[in-house]
Amino acid sequence: MNNSEDIIILAIESSCDDTSCAVLHNDVVLSNVTAGQAIHQQYGGVIPELASRDHQKNIVPVADAALKKAGVNLSQISAIAFTRGPGLSGSLLVGTSFAKSMALALDIPLIEVNHMQGHILAHFIKEKTEPHLSPSFPFLCLTVSGGHTQIVKVTNHLEFELLAETEDDAVGEAFDKAAKIIGLPYPGGPLIDKYARQGNPGRFKFPMPNLPGQRYSFSGIKTAFLYFIRDHVAQDPHFIENNLNDICASYQHHLVSYLLKNLKAVARETGIKQIAIAGGVSANSGLRGQLSSLSQKEGWTCFIPKFEYCTDNAAMIGITAYYKYLKSDFTDLSVTPLARFSI
Ligand code: KG4
Ligand code: ZN
C-alpha cells in the first residue's frame, strides 16, 4: 500500500444510534466495525442524550478495532471521513469532533459526507474476495430508513436529484411504530419481517394513500393500523397473539406495495431502468422479493445491497469520501454538524 494510487480512508458514522468505523483502500473495504446501542430498547425508541453518551464511550475502541482489523496504522491513513448529517445533533457532534481531532493530529484532509448519499453509494463498496456489480448511471434509488423515504435520481457518484420523498413519517417509523402497537421491542422492523415470513399477506387490508405526484405519506397508514388493532382487540383480547404472522405479513405487504407503486411511476416517467434500494428498510425480505418480481415485469435491472451495508455503517461513508477525495473535495476544521442536510 501507499503509492499515489493508494488512498486509505478512515470513515466514521455516528448519525443515530450506531457507532461505526471503517477503513477503505480506494473503493475496497478492509474493515467495517459497528457498535449498536441496546440501551434504547427499554424506551421503545432512540433517546438522543443516551445515544450521544454511548457514541462517546464507543468511538475510540471502535476506531481502534477497525484499524486493527484492516491492518492499517495511523501513518498510512490518507484522509478522515465523517457523517456531517442528517441525524441527531448530539450523535453527529461526537463523530464530527472525533474526525476533526484525528485530521488535525495527523495533518491529513477531512471529508464531510451526507448520510443519505452514503446509503446510496453503498452500492459501490467493493470487497476483496467477492465480485461486485454496481448500477450504471443514471439510476434511481429508493432510500428507505428510520428517518427517510426518498426516490433519488443519481447521475454520477456525486450528483443527486431528489424526485420524491415523504410528507411525514419515514417507512422505517411506520414499521417500528406498528411493531410497538402490537407489543414488539424496538426496533420492530426486523421482527415484523421475521413474523411476516410465516403469514398470509392478503389476509388484512389497509388504506392506500393517494397524494398528488409520487410523494409518500405514512402517518395515515400508521393510524389506520392503530385503529385496526384496537377494534379487533376489543372483540378478541387474544387477537394479536393468535394472528401475529398474518398481521405482520399483511401490513408489511401493504407498506412495500405502496413503496413500489410510486417507484414504478417514477421509473416509467423518467424511463430509467437501473433501480437500486438502500437504507435500513432495504434489508426487508418482503421489499427484496417484491422488487425482484416487479423488476422482471418492468424490465429493470435491480440492485440490492448486502445486509451489512443496508443499515447504518461507516463503509458507506468511506466509499462516498473516496469519490470526494478523487475530486479533492475536502472540508476545513471549522465544519459543524447539520441535523438537517438535504441530499
Ligand atoms: O438506515 P438505518 O439503519 O438508520 C437510519 O438512518 O434510520 O434504518 C433503520 C430502520 C429502522 O426503522 C428499522 O426498523 C428498519 O430500518 N429495518 C427494517 C429491517 N431492518 C431494519 N425494517 C423492515 N424490515 C427489516 N428487515
Ligand atoms: Zn441511515
State the distance from the centre of ligand 1 to the C-alpha of 61, rounded, in angstroms: 25
State the distance from the centre of ligand 2 to the C-alpha of 254, rounded, in angstroms: 22
C-alpha cell of residue 126: 467493493
Q: Is 312 in the pocket of ligand 1 (CB under 6 A)?
A: yes
What ligand is nearest to the CA atom of residue 34?
Answer: 1
State the distance from the centre of ligand 1 to the C-alpha of 44, rounded, in angstroms: 14
d(CA 24, CA 32): 9
d(CA 206, CA 255): 9
DSSP three-state, residue 30: strand
State the distance from the centre of ligand 2 to the C-alpha of 208, rounded, in angstroms: 25
User: What fold does the segment set 8-131+310-326 form as a domain?
Assistant: Nucleotidyltransferase; domain 5 (3.30.420)
Q: For residue 324, what pLDDT is reported?
A: 98
Nearest atom (ligand 1) to Cα of 187: 14
pLDDT confidence bin for 130, thresholds 50/70/90 = confident
- The structural domains of the chain, with segments of one domain joined by +, span 8-131+310-326, 139-307
State the distance from the centre of ligand 1 to the C-alpha of 327, rounded, in angstroms: 32
State the distance from the centre of ligand 2 to the C-alpha of 144, rounded, in angstroms: 8
DSSP three-state, residue 71: coil
Ligand 1 atom 22: residue of nearest CA: 189
Nearest atom (ligand 1) to Cα of 145: 8
Q: For residue 316, what pLDDT is reported?
A: 98
Sequence length of the chain is 343
Rounded to 5 degrees, what angle do the CA atoms 167, 168, 174 make? 125
Nearest atom (ligand 1) to Cα of 148: 7
DSSP three-state, residue 8: strand
State the distance from the centre of ligand 2 to the C-alpha of 58, rounded, in angstroms: 18
Q: What pTM value is reported for the model?
A: 0.95
Q: Is 172 in the pocket of ligand 1 (CB under 6 A)?
A: yes
DSSP three-state, residue 53: helix
Q: For residue 150, what pLDDT is reported?
A: 97
Q: For residue 312, what pLDDT is reported?
A: 94
Q: Is 280 in the pocket of ligand 1 (CB under 6 A)?
A: yes
Q: Cα separations (Å) of 317 from 24, 174, 267, 343?
A: 10, 26, 27, 14
Q: Is 284 in the pocket of ligand 1 (CB under 6 A)?
A: yes
C-alpha cell of residue 135: 448500477
Q: For residue 4, what pLDDT is reported?
A: 57
Q: Is 189 in the pocket of ligand 1 (CB under 6 A)?
A: yes
According to DSSP, residue 192 is labeled H
Q: Which of 13, 173, 175 to mutate to test ligand 1, by most ligand atoms within 8 A of the CB atom?
A: 175
Per-residue pLDDT tens digits for 16-29: 889 999 999 999 99
Name 27's Cβ contacts closer than 8 Å, sequence gap at least 6: 124, 125, 126, 319, 322
Contact 61, 37 (CB under 8 A): no
Rounded to 5 degrees, what angle do the CA atoms 247, 219, 198 make? 15
Q: Around 60, how many Cα atoms within 13 Å sit in the side-chain half-sphere? A: 4
Q: Given the C-alpha cell 455516528, which residue does it identify? A: 14
User: What fold does the segment set 139-307 form as a domain?
Assistant: Nucleotidyltransferase; domain 5 (3.30.420)
Per-residue pLDDT tens digits for 55-110: 999 999 999 999 999 999 999 999 999 999 999 999 999 999 999 999 999 999 99
Per-residue pLDDT tens digits for 251-300: 999 999 999 999 999 999 999 999 999 999 999 999 999 999 999 999 99
Are both 8-131+310-326 and 139-307 of the same fold? yes
CB atoms within 10 A of CB 297: 8
C-alpha cell of residue 17: 444510534
Q: Is 311 in the pocket of ligand 1 (CB under 6 A)?
A: yes
